[in-house]
Homo-oligomer: A and B are copies of this chain.
Amino acid sequence: MIKVALNGYGTIGKRVANAIMLQPDMKLIGIAKTSPNYEAFIAQKMGINIFVPQESIKSFDEAGIKVAGNIEDMIKEADIVVDATPNGVGAQYKELYQKFGKNAIFQGGEKANVADVSFSSLCNYNEAIGKKYIRVVSCNTTALLRTICTLNKLSKVEKVRATIVRRAADPKEVKKGPINALVPDPASVPSHHAKDVNSVLKDLDIITMAVIAPTTYMHMHLLNVTLKSQVSKEDVINQFLNTNRFLLVRGKSKVNSTAEIIEVARDLGRIRNDIPEVVIFEDSIYTMGNEVFLMYAVHQESIVVPENIDAIRASLNLASAEDSIKITNTSLNISKGYLI
Contact = CB atoms under 8 A, between A and B. Distances in A.
Q: Max chain B CB contacts within 10 Å: which of A211, A218, A291?
A: A211
Contact of A187 (B163, B168, B256): B256
Nearest to A163: B163
Contacts of A285: 189
A215 B174 CA distance: 12
Interface string A287-299: 0100101110100
Contacts of A288: 207
Interface string A242-260: 0000000101111111111
B37 A253 contact: yes
A8 to B, nearest CB: 15
B272 A189 contact: no
A252 B271 CA distance: 25
A232 interface: no
A297 B172 contact: no
A213 B39 CA distance: 24
B187 A284 contact: yes
Interface string A143-187: 000000000000000000101010111011111111111111011
A247 to B, nearest CB: 13
A224 interface: yes
A184 B260 CA distance: 12
Interface residues of A, number: 80
A222 interface: yes
Contact of A295 (B38, B176, B184, B266): B184
A216 interface: yes
A96 interface: no
A36 interface: yes
A204 interface: no
A39 B207 CA distance: 33
Contacts of A168: 177, 179
A165 B209 CA distance: 12
A172 B264 CA distance: 9
A257 B178 contact: yes
A309 B290 CA distance: 42
A177 B182 CA distance: 14
A257 B184 contact: yes
Interface in A288-319: 288, 291, 293-295, 297
B340 A41 contact: yes
A177 B187 contact: no
A262 B207 contact: no
A167 to B, nearest CB: 8
A217 interface: yes
Contacts of A260: 38, 172, 174, 181
A89 interface: no
A193 interface: no
Interface string A207-246: 1010101111110101010000000000000000000000
5 contacts: A172-B262, A182-B258, A184-B257, A188-B286, A214-B214
